[in-house]
């Protein structure tokens, strides 16, 4: 299975920066890696991607399938920009008050419109029980078609932006628990990503675990370092 590398640019960047990123990404050659780039919505049109290994994603989507939600982004809008993936349930959205029910609605809207949700889950504190993560998985996928292959991004909140990485054994344990839960829910396959304080100095340690790829934040903006990580994974 190809590794999956997702770049979440968050609320960062400029037209100039993204022009540089797109230029370098379009020249990037990989053999067995899928890359997903998720810029802020206002910069989606800057991503004229010519690399077949690279797809476009978005950082969020509406949870209401109507046209009266001021400030929201609809699936039809994203499809016009050739978006294929959507990050759903990121911890930073959850901190703003997003609940499991809203996340589930967003997952359904994605799937009903041919978009692939990247569902973020993770415990708040290192001491938290990992079963709380499995509940997030279950709630996000409630009443969704069983013929899909969910993409789950395990992002322990205590690791994001802190420089603190979970032990590989913990990542492996969480990955197994997620896969077991997915099977218990009736799905045949899933993709499990890891995100949280990954950089060029530690990505090999993470990618040696049982996960299928990475969800990268700040390092994505440092395009040369991002490409170094992609090439390092592609050559594994």
pLDDT of residue 235: 84
Our answer to whether residue 123 is catalytic in this structure is: no
CA distances from 150 to 76, 90, 161, 167, 191 (A): 21, 15, 25, 24, 6
Predicted pLDDT of residue 113? 96
**Residue 164: what are its φ and ψ, rounded to 5°?**
-100, 120
- Catalytic: which of 98, 105, 123, 155? 155
Whole-number pLDDT of residue 20: 97
Number of Cβ within 10 Å of residue 225's Cβ equals 17
- Residue 71: phi and psi, rounded to 5, are 85, -5
Strand spans (E) along 139-190: 151-154
pLDDT given at position 203? 93
Closest CA to 63 of 6, 23, 102: 102
Distance between start and end Cα atoms, the chain: 12
Which pLDDT value is given to residue 163? 83
**pLDDT at res. 207:** 87
| Chain centre distance of CA 38 | 9
Which domain range does residue 176 map to? 3-234
- Mean pLDDT (10-residue bins), the chain, 236 residues: 95 97 96 97 96 97 86 95 97 95 97 97 88 96 96 94 88 95 96 94 89 95 97 88
Domain count, the chain: 1
CATH code, domain carrying 65: 3.20.20.70
List 90, 98, 105, 123, catalytic entry: 90
Give the per-residue pLDDT at 126.
Answer: 85
Q: Any catalytic annotation for residue 92?
A: no
């Amino acid at each position: 299975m190809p590794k999956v590398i997702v770049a979440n640019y968050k609320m960062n960047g400029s037209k100039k920066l993204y022009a540089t990123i797109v230029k370098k990404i379009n020249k990037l050659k990989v053999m067995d890696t899928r890359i997903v780039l998720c810029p802020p919505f206002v910069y989606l049109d800057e991503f004229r991607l010519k690399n077949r290994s690279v797809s476009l994603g978005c950082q969020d989507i509406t949870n209401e399938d109507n046209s009266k939600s001021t400030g929201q982004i609809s699936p039809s809008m994203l499809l016009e920009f050739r978006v294929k993936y959507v990050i759903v349930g990121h911890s930073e959205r959850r901190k703003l008050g997003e609940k499991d029910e809203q996340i589930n609605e967003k997952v359904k809207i994605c799937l009903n419109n041919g978009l692939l949700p990247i569902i973020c889950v993770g415990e708040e504190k290192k001491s938290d029980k990992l079963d709380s993560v499995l509940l997030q998985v279950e709630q996000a996928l409630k009443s969704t078609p069983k013929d899909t292959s969910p993409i789950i991004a395990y992002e322990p909140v205590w690791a994001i932006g802190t420089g603190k990485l979970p032990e590989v054994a913990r990542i492996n344990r969480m990955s197994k628990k997620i896969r077991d839960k997915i099977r218990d829910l009736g799905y045949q396959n899933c993709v499990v990503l890891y995100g949280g304080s990954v950089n060029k100095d530690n990505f090999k340690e993470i990618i040696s675990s049982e996960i299928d790829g990475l969800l990268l934040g700040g390092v994505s903006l440092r395009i040369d370092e991002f490409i170094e990580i992609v090439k390092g994974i592609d050559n594994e």
